[in-house]
């Protein structure tokens, strides 16, 4: 029998009008984007030069990211605060009108539906800045079932992220000195190009920076252009969330590292849960036991042997002898640590720091060691 050697090819993404564009798609294309993924039915850039080149640039300079995929669910009306509290175990009662909170959103069984950022404008107006999922239908369903006095829409808001150690200087040049006094996970409104835009000190990296919630298509393009004009001598470049930097920082990816099959306690997000308090949220009963006894498995960091690692496109088994004790869901070579770093879900009996296990990846079996997250603080 004739033998054929199977060629491993990455599929090509066919872009059509079914995938929504953003105010920055033309700018991103002109900047030389090399790869996309689809996130909330929109294009999210994943590579510009190479994964490692983008990583080094992010950690040394400043990047502007098109993260319009972070769609907003706007709640407005007298029952807004009641509704948003119903979907999360995090207590929102002391949240200020200029604050952002990272919140786990759970279903009736305590499984995570999303891990968005809640942005409070007032008691009667909130944005939920979502990860990849159609969470708006869950929220609308609750509101209709409870006959709540609240309007739920997806506003024309398209976030830009400004990330990296030179982010403060670039934002100061464009929006003035006052913007750099903004504290972490706080937000304020700025006026630009005839519109008000919300700016938060936040972002999906550990390098520091801001997210500009641009209001309207044309204003978004104008802000992009102004950032690049002002940052020429800062080596500003178009960028995107970087896999290596994300893993080093212990930032979880909903849909990869955590899914609806996981509780917030399994995701290591217990500090954002008030499961034993009097707050009323869907899934409270389901989470009570884990809040007391702890989960049977939990997110951990792993160092994996080797000088390189294949792309983790599906979960890899983590083994102790012949026993499957977990899975790896994100992995990459870290140039700064000179090690392969990974994020995985590990059974309680085997998750102790320093424990040696084996990971079965496409290139074969590798020795791995459990370690703390984040890898780099």
Encode the chain (377 residues) as per-residue pLDDT tens digits.
333 333 445 677 787 888 888 999 999 999 999 999 999 999 999 999 999 999 999 999 999 999 999 999 999 999 999 999 999 999 999 999 999 999 999 999 999 999 999 999 999 999 999 999 999 999 999 999 999 999 999 999 999 999 999 999 999 999 999 999 999 999 999 999 889 999 999 999 999 999 999 998 788 999 999 999 999 999 999 999 999 999 999 999 999 999 999 999 999 999 999 977 789 999 999 999 999 999 999 999 999 999 999 999 999 999 999 999 999 999 999 999 999 999 999 999 999 999 999 999 999 999 999 999 999 98
Strands 297-304 and 339-347: antiparallel
Domain with CATH 2.40.30.110 in the chain: 296-377
Class of domain 72-136: alpha beta
Going from the C-alpha of 246 to that of each of 58, 207, 212, 250, 375, the distances in angstroms are 11, 10, 20, 6, 10
The architecture CATH gives domain 296-377: Beta Barrel (2.40)
Q: How far apart are CA 45 and CA 261, in angstroms?
A: 27
Residues of the chain with CATH 3.30.1360.120: 25-70+156-246
What CATH number matches the domain at 25-70+156-246, 3.40.630.10, 3.40.50.150, 3.30.1360.120, 3.30.420.40? Answer: 3.30.1360.120
Pair 95, 120: CB distance under 8 Å: yes
Query: Cα(55)–Cα(4) distance, rounded to whole angstroms?
Result: 37
Rg from Cα positions in the chain: 21
């Amino acid at each position: 029998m004739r033998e054929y050697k199977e060629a491993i090819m990455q599929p090509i993404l066919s872009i059509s009008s079914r995938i929504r564009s953003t105010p920055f798609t033309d700018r991103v294309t002109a900047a030389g984007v090399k790869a996309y993924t689809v996130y909330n039915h929109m294009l999210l850039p994943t590579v510009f030069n190479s994964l490692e080149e983008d990583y080094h640039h992010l950690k040394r300079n400043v990047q502007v990211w098109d993260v319009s995929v972070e769609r907003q669910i706007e709640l407005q009306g007298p029952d807004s605060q009641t509704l948003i509290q119903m979907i999360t175990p995090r207590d929102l009662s002391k949240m200020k009108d200029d604050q952002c909170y990272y919140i786990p959103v759970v279903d009736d069984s305590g499984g995570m539906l999303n891990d968005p950022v809640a942005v409070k404008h007032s008691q009667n107006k909130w944005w939920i800045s979502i990860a990849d999922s159609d969470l708006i239908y869950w929220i609308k369903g609750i509101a209709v079932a409870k006959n709540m006095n609240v309007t739920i829409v997806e506003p024309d808001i398209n976030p830009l992220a400004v990330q990296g150690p030179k982010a403060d200087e670039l934002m100061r040049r464009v929006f003035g000195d006052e913007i750099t006094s903004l504290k972490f996970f706080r937000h304020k409104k700025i006026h630009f190009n005839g519109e008000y835009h919300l700016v938060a000190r936040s972002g999906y990296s550990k390098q520091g920076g801001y997210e500009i919630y641009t209001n309207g298509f044309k204003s978004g393009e104008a802000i992009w252009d102004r950032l690049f004009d002002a940052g020429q001598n800062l080596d500003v470049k178009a960028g995107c969330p970087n896999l290596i930097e994300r893993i080093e920082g212990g930032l979880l990816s909903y849909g990869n590292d955590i899914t609806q099959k996981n509780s917030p306690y399994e995701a290591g997000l217990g500090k954002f849960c008030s499961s034993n308090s009097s707050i009323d949220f869907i899934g409270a009963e389901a989470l009570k036991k884990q809040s007391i006894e702890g989960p049977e498995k939990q997110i951990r960091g792993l160092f994996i042997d080797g000088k390189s690692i294949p792309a983790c496109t599906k979960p890899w088994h983590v083994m102790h002898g012949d026993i499957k004790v977990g899975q790896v869901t994100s992995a990459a070579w870290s140039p700064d640590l000179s090690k392969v770093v990974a994020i995985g879900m590990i059974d309680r009996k085997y998750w102790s720091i320093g424990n040696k296990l084996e990971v079965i990846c496409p290139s074969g079996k590798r020795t791995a060691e459990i370690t703390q997250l984040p890898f780099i603080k």
